[in-house]
Amino acid sequence: MSQATQLGRRAVRIGTSTIGDGRPVAVIGGEDARWVSLRGHHGRSTAEEIIGAARAGWAGPLLVEPFSAADLGAVAGHADGVVVGAAWMQDFRLVQAVARIGLPVVVQRGQAATLEEWLAIADYCAAEGNDQVVLCESGSRTHLGGTTLDLGLMREAAERSGRPVLADLGDDPALAAAAVAAGADGLLLAPDASPETIEAAREAATVVGAVVRREAPDTVLAARAAIDRVDAALATLLERRVGLAGTVQRLKPVGGFKGRDMDRERRLVAAMARRAPSLGETRLAPVMNAVIEAGLRVAEERIHAADLESSARG
């Protein structure tokens, strides 16, 4: 997906969170929105009780997956959006009833549903007068009985529909970075995902998102938040760079400030300037000089500390 396509993708508002149209990657099931499924609780508690419990500890956007149309009264009264679960995707009566509430709808792809069938459900919601639709890739059933996310299909759904897309990661953050790189506007985590899973997804969304997505902030607050994400990616790369520069100091015949290679430094600045034309070589040179000198100081300190340790061990 081109970055322009990602920017042009229409936005859907779920409570105070906005998904799509160059907004930051939303983590649903994390800090941007929570969700609760009435499916697992069916028969044990009422929809009101379950939604009430979810609301009790959370004032932000709340999505609810109904078990059946009977739940929709409670959902309409207390939720900010509705999830049409993968197993329910082709229940047209339920989809119709959900769309008519008027809340944003997240349509999960059924495990065996084709792209056409999935997009048809979104159009079906729109035909009911509800165009606030987000598509959520929830995986296909594999021959081994598990499910596997189809990120190519997710990307295609985004391009074909112009709607925001989510990747349903369940409780495994392993594909979070891949999903963001494939153009996900949001990541859907299991309602009971662990704090570690949520943090790993958030980290992937921040760092990978900063590299592959173009954002379109229109307020100081939003632009500063976008800068914070770029800085998070920069810091991650700076930390990695310090380690690699340290490796060179240990491997080359003369390391540290004594072995400084200004020709190599000029060449790397020139190469970087091609990717950072707004800064250009002249402005980039002092920036990289500071980065390189900081790296050399860290490398010298580490080599010194290692020498002390080995002489102490005798």
Ligand X SMILES: C=C(O[C@@H]1C=C(C(=O)O)C=C[C@H]1O)C(=O)O
Stretch that binds ligand X, among 160-168, 194-202, 221-229, 245-253 (CB under 6 A): 245-253
Task: Please identify, using beta-carbon distances, which residue of 48 and 265 lies nearer to ligand X.
Answer: 265
Q: Is residue 264 at the binding interface for ligand X, with CB under 6 A as the rule? A: yes
User: Nearest approach, Cβ of 244 to ligand X (angstroms)?
Assistant: 7
Q: Is 261 in the site for ligand X (CB under 6 A)?
A: yes
Q: What distances in angstroms separate CA 6 from CA 120, 156, 164, 252, one per listed residue?
A: 21, 12, 9, 44
What's the first-to-final CA gap in the chain, in angstroms?
A: 58
Closer of 42 and 241 to ligand X (Cβ): 241
Per-residue binding letters, 284-313, with ligand X (x by CB under 6 A): --------x--x------------------
| Chain centroid to CA 143 | 28
Among 155-163, 166-174, 186-194, 257-265, the segment contacting ligand X (CB under 6 A): 257-265
Q: Pick the binder of ligand X from 115, 245, 272, 298 (CB under 6 A).
A: 245
Consecutive H or E run containing 52: helix 47-56
Q: In the Cβ-directed half-sphere of 289, how many Cα atoms lie within 13 Å?
A: 9
Binding of ligand X at residue 260 (CB under 6 A)? yes
CA-based torsion, 251, 255, 259, 261: positive or negative: positive
The count of residues interacting with ligand X (CB under 6 A) is: 10
Q: Of these, 212, 248, 279, 285, which contacts ligand X (CB under 6 A)? A: 248
Contact between 265 and ligand X per CB under 6 A? yes
Beta strands across the sheet bearing 133-137: 26-28, 186-189, 165-170, 133-137, 105-108, 81-84, 62-65, 34-37
